[in-house]
Each structure stands twice: as structure tokens, then as C-alpha cells.
Amino acid sequence: MSINVSGTEGYAENAQSLIDQWQDISFENSHRPVMHLLPMPPAHILDVGAGIGTDAAALGAMGHTVMAVEPVDALRVAGIGLHSSSRIEWVDDSLPDLMSVRSRRREFDLVMLSAVWMHLDEDERCQAMSTVGSLLREGAMVVMSLRHGPVPEGRRMFDVSATETIRLASAHSFRTVLNVRTESTQRGNQRMGVTWSRLAFVKGGGRD
């Protein structure tokens, strides 16, 4: 069951409040720091931890084809209902293995990892970086966000730094093209002092 997927603790239990909350978040505001890095359409994009599909829907509307991966049943079902599009394929899967995605034997131009990476422990992050690399064509990009600040009650999160993540990406033949720190776009998180690292890596760029 989805609630047993490592890293999703607290999401199924609070799904309805999260669904309501996330519908107020805009793609453009959330991803302003990385908008200039998005590929020109049509591109094949993998959105891991797609939630209710806000990002997948926006990317699909741009003309991209999106595989939206969400392991929490309630969130995925809500996303399918909210964002019905022939450009979005919903998949029940999760890092670090993404076994269902890999079984499809596709290569992607971009992998989105929004608010996902800090849910993985150190061993899982190492495995996940290898998995992500195997799904990207040469020269393609992975964009991720890392949450810094108090951990919400009932959630599983780790204190993952941008420096550590850049080092791991480099060890897997990714070149860093973006590293910026931003405030949260959500007022509740702003009050708690939550900040985000926005990172982007290109596959096959060698070491910095």
C-alpha cells in the first residue's frame, strides 16, 4: 500500500487537507527560479512525487508529455480527477527504485524532483541518483528542490544540504547548472522560517 512507501509518512493521513492546500499553489510562482531551464516543447518529462499534478498539468499545457509519478493513492487519484489530460500518464511508483517507470524503458529530457529528495535517507539518495541518471538521455536535466527548516509532525525528512547533493550528483556524472536558495511561497512555511535550495544538474557534463 502507498502508506508503506518510505518517505511518504504523513501524506496519506493528511491527504485531504494537503489537496486543498496545494490547489492554491501556482506552478509559475513555485518554479520561478528554474523556468529559464525548462526544455522547449515538446519534451518528455518525468515528474517524481507529482502530488495532485499541478506541475504535470502546467507542463502538459506547455506542450510537453509528462509521466507523473505519485505513490500516495489519495493524492494520485485527486490528481487524475483534477488534471485530466492526454499528455499526462499517471504512475504509482517511488524512489529510490522507480521500478515501474524503468520497466517502460523510456528516456526523458527532464526529471522534476520537487520537495522529494529530503524524504530519502543517505543510502536511498545514492541509489536514487543512479536511478534518475539511468532515465535521462545524455545532456538532459534534473531539477530538484530541497526543503530546509522544521519538519512537520508525522513526516519523515532529512537535513540534506545543497553541497552534499551537488557532490553526489557530480559523482554520478552530473554537472551543476543552478544552485540558489529561496524562501517558501507558502505563508505557513514562511512563518516557520522554511527555505528551499533549488538545484539543477545536466547529465554527462563532467565534474565542476
Segment 5-32, tens digit of pLDDT:
766 654 655 656 665 665 677 898 889 9
Residue 121 inside a domain? The answer is: yes
Question: Domain range for residue 91?
Answer: 2-203
144-179 per-position pLDDT tens digit: 999 998 887 777 899 999 999 999 999 999 999 999
Residue 13 inside a domain? The answer is: yes
Number of domains, the chain? 1
pLDDT band at 185 (very low <50, low <70, confident <90, very high): low
Residue 72 pLDDT exceeds 70: yes
**What cell was used for 148?**
530546509
Residue 59 inside a domain? The answer is: yes
Cα–chain center distance at 85? 20
pLDDT band at 2 (very low <50, low <70, confident <90, very high): very low
Query: The domain that contains 123 carries what CATH number?
Result: 3.40.50.150
Residue 140 inside a domain? The answer is: yes
pTM score of the predicted model: 0.88
Phi-psi domain of 20 (left: phi exceeds 0; alpha: psi -120 through 50; beta: other): alpha
Residue 198 inside a domain? The answer is: yes
Judge whether 45 and 26 are in contact, CB under 8 Å.
no
Residue 208 pLDDT exceeds 60: no
What does the pLDDT average to over 126-143? 97
- Quick one: pLDDT at residue 6? 61
Residue 208 inside a domain? The answer is: no
Place of cell 535521462: 136
- Quick one: pLDDT at residue 17? 67
